[in-house]
Amino acid sequence: MTARTKGTALKSRRNFLRQAAIAGIGLTAGSRVSSVWAKDEPPIGTWPAGSQGNSVFIGITVPRTGTYAVQGEDELKGYQLAVEHINAGHPLIKAISTKTTKGVLGKEVKFGVADSEAKPNVAVQAQSRFITENKAVLITGSTSSAVAVALNKLAQREHVLYAAGISGSNDTTGKDCVRYGVRQCFYGQTAAAAIGPITVKTFGQNKKAAYLTPDYTYGHTVTKSMQDYLKTAGWTTATNQVAPLGAPDYSSFLLNIANSGADVLLNVNWGHDAVLSTQQAKQFGIFDKMKLVVPYQTPFLAREVGGDLMAGVYAATDFWWTLQDKYPLAKMFVEEFEKKYGYKPEWGANNGYMEFALWADAVERAGTFYPPSVIKVYEDGHKIQSTVGEVYFRKEDHQLVRPVIIVRGKKAADMKNKEDFYDVVEVVPGEPLMQKPDAFGCKLGDYT
């Protein structure tokens, strides 16, 4: 070996050692960084894969066919408007999610839509695809509590956040609640506690009630909540007619109701079932004998049943567009929605919009899409301005504490425009309406 080559070899060895040392330091530092990351935000669900690019994906399942199709389409419009506003950094979204600039944590929000047909198995299959193929960071949508409960379970199993859509069952944030699920809309218990007093005040004590109940978790829990409340005023149940979802005819159920001797009919049906059963109740002359109460209002009900059928009828709801006279954010929402879709929004659309706004708020506050951190923000009790005033999530069951709106149907002659179906009678504050957090058996489960 010559001196030159020896020197080159030494230099090479030195270079090698230097590079090895740098690499070693780098590797050590890297492993330290990764161990810190692993400790604080280890991979879980679609984290971090779902938020590594310039965009994040939301999986939406709403019924676009079947008995809840109309309400599903309306809900979808609310989601679409919210995504548009989030990506554009619209003032309405910024008023609700105060840390939002554009997108969520600077990432564009994209979404996919599947028809759930209001069937739990169909919704779960579609959302499973969104999770595995699109790495959805949020799944959402339901107009049936059976779907909401099924997606709750999927969310907890897959560790992906689920914001329930329309879901009126007590079980969604009750016995079937999960750590990974949240709900913004009203439900059986709050509906009953809100509309119960005005029902008793209007019709008196010790009345007989007939119920028309859809045969699944929503129907059973709403009817139970109404029965429990009205029992305190001496009301009894003359009959409870349980009908399958999507029944093509209600005549046999309505005959039983007509012959039950009830004073008041509480129609718990929803979607087209509510429309059809109400129209057929009119055909059977039931409203000549008894009054109608709607404990959980169906969007578009008054529009679809037609005539003066809903005139004077009390209903509990989540949102009605004339709340724009009371809440500035409601006014902004109604104007934006009508500008885009050409009609006044119903409560399903408002619910969809608010779900996404509340999620954007939670992620922005968390500063990360890491699900346990986002969940902890939902649970920290911070107050949020919404289209129905100040609201917050209850940490024990992930239920939004929000008012319930009581409306009364107007006569056609009293309507100021073609969509002026209801008067807002009362905005009932949410907190006193709610059961104790553990009353419905909620056990949220683990973060990881």
Partner 1 sequence: MNWSNLVAQMFNGLVLGALLALISSGLTIIYGTLGVLNLAHGAMFMIGGYAGYLAFEATGSYPIAVVAGAALVMVLGILIERVIVRHFYGRPAEDQILVTFGLGIVFVELVRLGFGSLSRSVPPPSWAQGVTSLGFTVYPTYRLVVVGIVAVALLILYLVLYRTRLGMIVRAGIEDSVMVDSLGINVYRVFMVVFGIGAMAAGFAGIVNAPVASLTPDVGESIMIETFVVVVIGGVGSFPGAILGGLIAGQILSLTSIVDPGYSYVMLFAAMTIVLLVRPRGLLGSRSRD
Rounded Cα gap, residues 143 and 78, in angstroms: 13
CA atoms within 13 A of residue 261's CA, in its CB half-sphere: 6
Burial zone of 140 (CB within 10 Å; 0-12 exposed, 13-18 middle, 19+ buried): buried
Question: What is the nearest approach in angstroms of partner 1 to the Cβ of residue 354?
Answer: 23
User: Given the complex with partner 1, which of 7 and 307 has the nearer CB atom?
Assistant: 307
Give the one residue of 194, 275, 294, 377 binding partner 1; rule: CB under 8 A: 275
Cβ proximity to partner 1: between 305 and 313 the closer is: 305
Between CA 269 and CA 141 the distance in angstroms is 19
Q: Residue 199 or residue 221: which is nearer to partner 1 going by CB?
A: 221
Tell me how far apart the alpha carbons of residues 93 and 103 are, in angstroms, rounded to a whole number.
10
Tell me how far CA of residue 315 lies from CA of 192, 213, 385, in angstroms: 10, 16, 25
Segment holding 61, helix H or strand E: strand 55-62
C-beta of residue 292 within 8 angstroms of C-beta of residue 313: yes
If one asks whether residue 284 binds partner 1 (CB under 8 A), the answer comes out as yes
Provide the mask over 305-334, with x wherever binding to partner 1 is found by CB under 8 A and - wherever it is not: -x----------------------------
Q: Which amino acid is at 55?
A: S
Residue type, 21: A
Nearer to partner 1, 105 or 247 (CB): 247
* Distance of closest approach, residue 260 Cβ to partner 1, in angstroms: 9
| Using rule CB under 8 A, residue 280 touches partner 1 | yes
Which residue in the set 125, 237, 279, 324 belongs to the binding site for partner 1 (CB under 8 A)?
279
Backbone phi, psi, residue 139, to 5° = -115, 150
- Please name which of 356, 299, 387 lies closest in space to residue 139, comparing C-alpha atoms: 356
252 in contact with partner 1 (CB under 8 A): yes
CB 295 within 8 A of CB 229: no
Q: Which of 42, 43, 53, 244 is in the footprint of partner 1 by CB under 8 A?
A: 244
Q: Which residue shows structure tokens 């029902």?
A: 199
Could you give phi then psi for residue 371, rounded to 5 degrees?
-55, -45
Query: Between 210 and 374, whose beta carbon lies closer to partner 1?
Result: 210
DSSP string, 215-258: SSHHHHHHHHHHHHHHHTTT-EEEEEEEE-TT-S--HHHHHHHH
Among 35, 54, 65, 98, the residue binding partner 1 under the rule CB under 8 A is 65
Please select the residue that binds partner 1; options are 69, 81, 131, 349, rule is CB under 8 A: 69
Ranges within 164-223 binding partner 1 (CB under 8 A): 215
Residue 141 touching partner 1 (CB under 8 A): no
- Using rule CB under 8 A, residue 418 touches partner 1: no
* Minimum separation from the CB atom of position 341 to partner 1 (A): 12
Using CB under 8 A as the binding rule, the residues of this chain from 212 to 231 that contact partner 1 are: 215
Instruction: Figure out which of the listed residues 155, 192, 276, 434 binds partner 1, where binding follows CB under 8 A.
Output: 276
Near partner 1 by CB under 8 A, which window of 97-105, 279-287, 355-363, 429-437? 279-287
In 305-418, the DSSP E strands lie at 314-317, 384-386, 389-393, 400-401, 404-409
Nearer to partner 1, 202 or 259 (CB): 259
73 lies in the site for partner 1, by CB under 8 A: yes
259 binds partner 1 (CB under 8 A): yes
Binding-site ranges for partner 1 (CB under 8 A): 64-67, 69-70, 73, 215, 241-244, 246-249, 251-253, 255-256, 258-259, 272, 275-276, 279-280, 283-285, 300, 303-304, 306
